Homo-oligomer: A and B are copies of this chain.
Amino acid sequence: MKFLLVHGSWHDGDAFSAVADKLRAQSHDVYTPTIAGHGKGADKAVNHADCTASIVRYIRDNDLDDFVLLGHSYGGTIISKVVEQVADRVRRLVFWNAFVLNDGESLLDAVPPHYREMFTSLAKSSPDNTVSMPFPVWREAFVNDADLETARATYALLSPEPFQPFADKLDLKGFYEIVKGGRVPCSYINATEDAALPQGPDFGWHPRMSNRLGLFRLVQVSGSHELLFTAPDVLAEAIIRAGRD
C-alpha cells in the first residue's frame, strides 16, 4: 500500500519516522510531508488554506495516486480539505485521533473551553501568533503512556503551532459529499488512552468525531495521543488494518 501521513499540531513530518520505518519494513510506500508553517525554523505566518495547499502541492509534485491519506489530530482538518481537491487520487481516508469538524466549524469550536482559552492566550502573548505546548500538558495529557525521559526527549522535537489555522472556519460541504456519498471510504483509529481531548461524549475524539463520518471502519488500540513516539509498531499495525481495502 501507499500511505501519505499528515502530522498534527506542534509536530512535523519527521515525527512519523519510526512509524514510516515499520511500514516500509513491510514493503509499503510512505510519504511524510511537513505542513506549511510547521516544524522548527518555518515561517509560522500561515492560515488553514496555506496548510491545505502545501499538502495538495506535495501530492501533485510527487504525482501521488491511489494512496491512503491519513491525518493525525489537527491533521484531520487538513486531510478533510485536501481530499476535496484530490478525491480521485485517494484510496481511503484514515483519521487517527483526528478532528472531523462539522461544516463551518474551526478547530477552536471543537475543543473544550479551557483549551480555547489557553491557545488564545498563549498566541496573544507570543511574538508571532503561535501556541507553544506547555510541558505539563504534554507530559500528562499527550504522552501519558511514556516515562519522563521519553516525555522530555519528544517534547524537544516540538515547535510552536501557528494559531490562525485553529481559528479558521472551514467549509466542509465538499468533504461531507465525498465521504457520505461513499466516494472515498473512511477509517478511524482510536487510541483508548488518548486524553489529549477529555474523553467522553462532550469533547472526546471517539465516538464524537468518528460518528460524523457516517459509515466508517473503527480500529482501536491501546495508547496515548502520541503513539507515533511511544509505540510506533502498534500504530503501524493499526494503520495497516485501517488502510487496507
Residue tally, chain A, CB below 8 Å to B: 37
CA distance A185 to B151 in the complex (A): 16
Beta-carbon contact of B199 and A206 below 8 Å = yes
For A220, the chain B residues whose CB sits under 8 A away are: 192-193, 222
For A219, the chain B residues whose CB sits under 8 A away are: 144-145, 193
Interface of A is mostly: loop
Closest 4 CB pairs of A and B: A200-B207, A199-B207, A195-B218, A140-B217
- A71 beta carbon closer than 8 Å to chain B: no
Interfacial residues, chain A to chain B (CB-CB below 8 A) = 114, 136-137, 139-141, 144-145, 147-148, 182, 185, 187, 192-193, 195, 198-201, 204, 206-208, 210-211, 214-220, 222, 241, 244-245
Beta-carbon contact of A140 and B193 below 8 Å = no
Beta-carbon contact of A148 and B207 below 8 Å = no
Partner of A216, one of B140, B182, B214: B140
For A199, the chain B residues whose CB sits under 8 A away are: 206-207, 210-211, 218
